[in-house]
Amino acid sequence: MRTLRRLLPLGLLLIAPLAGAQQNLIHEERSQYREVLVYEDGGERCMCFTRQCRIGRQSCINLADPKRFALNYTRMALGGLLFASPQPPQRVLILGLGGGTIPGALRQVLPAAQIDVAEIDPAVTRVARTYFGFREDPRLKVYEMDGRVYVKRAIREGKKYDAVLLDAFDQEYIPEHLLTREFLEEVKSLLAPGGVVVGNTFSSSKLYDHESTTYAAVFGTFFNLKGANRVIVARPDGLASAAQLRERAQRYEPSLRSFGVDTQALLAMFTTNSDWDPQARVLTDQYSPANLLNH
């Protein structure tokens, strides 16, 4: 495996930078891993890991309505997790905190669930609390450690999760040690019967084919939701049928509406069509040159 130290940071990422020309920087600090910056622009507050959010935004909130999702990928990820799960998940693991938008939403949609978040950077956790309204409680806990380290420890402890959301990014892309077949096999072993894995990735990159064949090698056929980002939804026990997806979307529609989620629009994004090269090399701990392939 390549060295991990350079690529450990965790967070959330969207491709498009902030559109406004006059971004107001309201917070900046340099952590052990990167710069953590908070900008306000056009009625939104965003966490970024690069100046002027030139590569992307890790997390955003709508200042006038903080509960309403500001980034489309959050709708895709939340819908993928809820619609693909046969029953309301009782234990959820999220790798990557960002501003805490998704764990906070899940806490409201699934009030009885235990939600664990692995976030390596204490600065990200501080900023999420101070500027994005993120709050922990006995059922929503943050563990400040690398996501793969958390997964390995959870396996040793015999933990099982009904849903795992992979949302870990550094300032460029997903850390390479969180892209490999071995890592996905570890995540798969954490799943309880019927459990689902949801992965937030890019909808267009040189890694697209490799990521696709890697997920397919571990999980087989998966749902492929695409917008500015791509969200992969995999379930080892078999994917939900169209009728099951519709039933679950209807079940969650009242609670998701307040977050600005159009469940019917989300349903239309669920597809198993493969649009990648099936011969692309699978990413492994010995072959995962994300820093080269993604440029």
Q: Is 205 left (phi over 0), alpha (psi -120 to 50) or beta?
A: beta
Residue 7 pLDDT: 32
Respond yes or no: is residue 167 known to be catalytic: yes
Q: What is the CATH number of the domain that holds 282?
A: 3.40.50.150
Q: Are 124 and 37 in contact (CB under 8 A)?
A: no
Whether residues 49 and 129 fall in one domain: no
Q: Which domain holds residue 257?
A: 72-293
Mean pLDDT per 10-residue section of the chain, whose length is 295 residues: 32 42 88 94 94 86 95 95 97 97 97 97 97 97 98 98 95 91 98 97 91 98 95 98 97 96 96 96 90 63
Catalytic residue among 116, 167, 237, 285: 167
pLDDT value, residue 288: 84
- C-alpha distances in angstroms, 240 versus 82, 86, 235? 11, 8, 9
In a domain, 157, yes or no: yes
- 139 with 46, same domain: the answer is no
Question: Which pLDDT score is estimated for 294?
Answer: 64
The encoded tokens of residue 270 equal: 């669920």
Same domain, 76 and 171: yes
Q: Is residue 139 part of a domain?
A: yes
Last residue of a domain, one of 33, 62, 91: 62
Question: 231 with 75: CB under 8 angstroms?
Answer: no
Residues 248 and 204 in one domain: yes
**Spatial strand order in the sheet of 114-118:** 140-143, 114-118, 91-95, 161-166, 191-202, 229-234, 223-226
Question: What span, in angstroms and rounded, lies between the C-alpha atoms of 35 and 171?
Answer: 9
Given 19, 38, 62, which residue is the final one in a domain?
A: 62
d(CA 242, CA 143): 36
User: In this predicted structure, what is the pLDDT of residue 5?
Assistant: 30
Q: Which residues contact 138 (CB under 8 A, 6 or more apart)?
A: none
* Per-residue burial over 174-202, b = 16 or more CB atoms within 10 Å of its CB, e = otherwise: bbbbbbbbbbbebbeebbeebbbbbbbbb
Task: Please give the pLDDT value at position 172.
Answer: 81
